[in-house]
Amino acid sequence: MSQGSNTDFILAVEGLTVSFDGFKAVNDLSFYVDQNEIRVIIGPNGAGKTTVLDLICGRTKATDGSIRFRNRELTRLKEHQIVKAGVGRKFQNPSIYPDLTVFENLEISYPSGRGVFGSLAFKRSAEVVARIEEIAGRIFLSEHLHTQADLLSHGQKQWLEIGMLLIQKPELLMLDEPVAGMSVNERRQTAVLLREIAKEHTMIVIEHDMQFVAEIADKVTVLHQGRILAEGSPEKVKADPKVIEVYLGH
């Protein structure tokens, strides 16, 4: 049976290529992600990691290849259709509303089908409030529900943005360097948070901190020059001479 017809994977990327003026930032890339898996993508600067996330979420259009999410082809969809299909993305810098409270940031993200102002005006149902409180608990911000987001620590802002994604219930969450700039304690808590989230969601995470990678990853994909250099468990990848040569040894 060809892998092309396999329906067990939540995400199947095959032959994915993107060319920027002839330069292939992602070059004939194939990988498969299981449901409830945490897949971590590592690799040197410029390896194509962020570009892969950009391709999956529709921000960048593929030159060639396919991205199937639950067997639905994403390369033909627009960014907002991919969000609707169940793919959520968090960028490196938190994009939260600094003047609003934690509660209000989560409320705005609640999938009500309205824009920012419509969301604020719509009556807070008990169901919405309960969901916001539940999410705030998961992201360690129960005590800060009515704190203005601007006053949170950098790490807490990152958690809030993860919460803003979670409240939309995406099946697949993509996080770009979620622990960058976090303290050791915040990193530890984030590892716990991500393992907890993986019980209900699938995740693709770009990360450089190998200790954190080992704590969260089910499987690691190592990219180099737009291609896969190695793939497997964190232990296997860490011991791979090719990976040590181009990435870990530096």
CA-to-CA distance for 1 and 111, rounded, in angstroms? 39
Q: Which stretch binds ligand ATP (CB under 6 A): 30-38, 39-47, 117-125, 128-136?
A: 39-47
Binding of ligand ATP at residue 229 (CB under 6 A)? no
Task: Give the integer Cα–Cα distance in Å for 181 and 208.
Answer: 12
46 binds ligand ATP (CB under 6 A): yes
Asked if 5 is part of the footprint of ligand ATP (rule: CB under 6 A), the reply reads: no
Report the C-alpha gap between 49 and 62 in whole angstroms. 14
The answer to whether residue 51 forms part of the interface with ligand ATP (CB under 6 A) is yes
Q: Are 232 and 201 in contact (CB under 8 A)?
A: no
Q: If binding is defined by CB under 6 A, does position 246 make contact with ligand ATP?
A: no
- Asked whether position 25 contacts ligand ATP by CB under 6 A, the answer is yes
Q: Which residue has the tokens 């990435």?
A: 247
Distance CA 93, CA 178 (A): 9
Q: Least separation, in Å, of the C-beta of 24 and ligand ATP?
A: 9
The residue among 11 and 47 lying less far from ligand ATP, judged by its C-beta, is 47
Q: Which is nearer to ligand ATP, 44 or 232 (CB)?
A: 44
Q: Could you tell me how far CA 185 lies from the centroid of its own chain?
A: 21
* Token pair 């360690």: residue: 140
What's the chain's length in residues?
A: 250
Nearest alpha-carbon partner for 196 in 34, 38, 8, 87: 38
Q: Which is nearer to ligand ATP, 47 or 139 (CB)?
A: 47
Number of residues engaging ligand ATP in binding (CB under 6 A): 10
Taking CB under 6 A as the binding criterion, the range among 42-50, 152-160, 213-221, 234-242 that sits at the site for ligand ATP is: 42-50
How far is residue 45 CA from its own chain's centroid? 18
In the list 48, 58, 88, 234, the residue contacting ligand ATP (rule: CB under 6 A) is 48
Binding site for ligand ATP (CB under 6 A): 20, 25, 43, 45-51
